[in-house]
Every structure is written in C-alpha cells, then in structure tokens.
C-alpha cells in the first residue's frame, strides 16, 4: 500500500502542476494544496512524496481524512496558484456563462479526470 499511495501522490501532484503550467503558472507560484485521503495513516508517505515534489517551495497545505472519496480513489487534491499578476487563481476555467472544474483522482493504476459545469 505504501508504494500505491506514494505513486498516487506523485501522479496527482504532477498532473495538477501540468494543468497549472498549461495556464501559464509555475511550481513556485503554487499557493495552497488541498489533499483528501482515505486514511491519515498514510500521512508520512504522502508527506514524503509531497516534500520531494515541491523541494524547497512550501505552499500552504490542508490534509483531510475523507473516507468516502469518489470513484474509490486513494486520494484527491486541488491546487491554488498565484497568477502572473499576483492574484490567486484556482484550477477552474470560465467557459462563457459556465464554470468548468477539473477534479483529479488516482485509483490504483488509473487517473480519473472528471469535469463538471455549473451555471453562473
């Protein structure tokens, strides 16, 4: 299980960062990461992977035990970054009059991307 949760953490953080970079962001612009896990027993392994991923950069972090993560995932995460103009931005994109939100989960060997739209 240690290998699975470590791999899940690395994959989810890497994919979120790819989304940030696609929007013009960068690693040292990440302001906060929210991580939801099935069990806090995995904290040490997640913390090790998290620290290795961010190296010297230390964004704020929230880690919450959430046993009922969708799609039977091992963990779920979201990043908030600072935009080039210094304002915070989340991994949400405006699409005309709708907000499109990307959520990522890692379930064993599969990365699951789910998109939702809501009227604004």
All structural domains of the chain with their residue ranges: 2-119
- Torsions phi, psi for 94 (to 5 deg): -80, 135
pLDDT at 86 over 70: no
- Fold of the domain spanning 2-119: 60s Ribosomal Protein L30; Chain: A; (3.30.1330)
pLDDT, position 37? 87
> Would you give the distance in Å from CA 106 to the centre of its chain?
10
What angle (nearest 5°) sits at the alpha carbon of residue 22, between those of residues 46 and 9?
Answer: 10
DSSP for residue 38 = S
Q: Which of residues 112 and 77 earns the better pLDDT score?
A: 77
Contact assessment for residue 117 and residue 98, using Cβ atoms and an 8 Å cutoff? yes
pLDDT tier, 65 (very low <50, low <70, confident <90, very high otherwise) = very high
Mean pLDDT for all residues in the chain: 72
Q: Which of residues 1 and 33 earns the better pLDDT score?
A: 33
pLDDT tier, 2 (very low <50, low <70, confident <90, very high otherwise) = low
Give dist(CA 105, CA 77) in Å, integer.
7
Residues 35-53: pLDDT tens digits?
888 889 999 999 999 999 9
pLDDT at 23 over 80: no
pLDDT, position 41? 92
């Amino acid at each position: 299980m240690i290998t699975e949760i470590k791999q899940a953490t690395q994959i989810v953080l890497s994919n979120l960062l790819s989304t940030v970079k696609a929007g013009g962001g960068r690693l040292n612009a990440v302001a906060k990461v929210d991580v939801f896990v099935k069990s806090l027993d995995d904290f040490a392994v997640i913390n090790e992977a998290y620290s290795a991923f961010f190296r010297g950069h230390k964004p704020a972090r929230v880690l919450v035990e959430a046993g009922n993560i969708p799609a039977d995932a091992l963990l779920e995460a979201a990043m908030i970054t600072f935009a080039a103009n210094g304002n915070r931005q989340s991994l949400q994109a405006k699409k005309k009059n709708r907000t499109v939100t990307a959520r990522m989960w890692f379930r064993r060997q599969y990365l699951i991307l789910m998109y939702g739209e809501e009227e604004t």
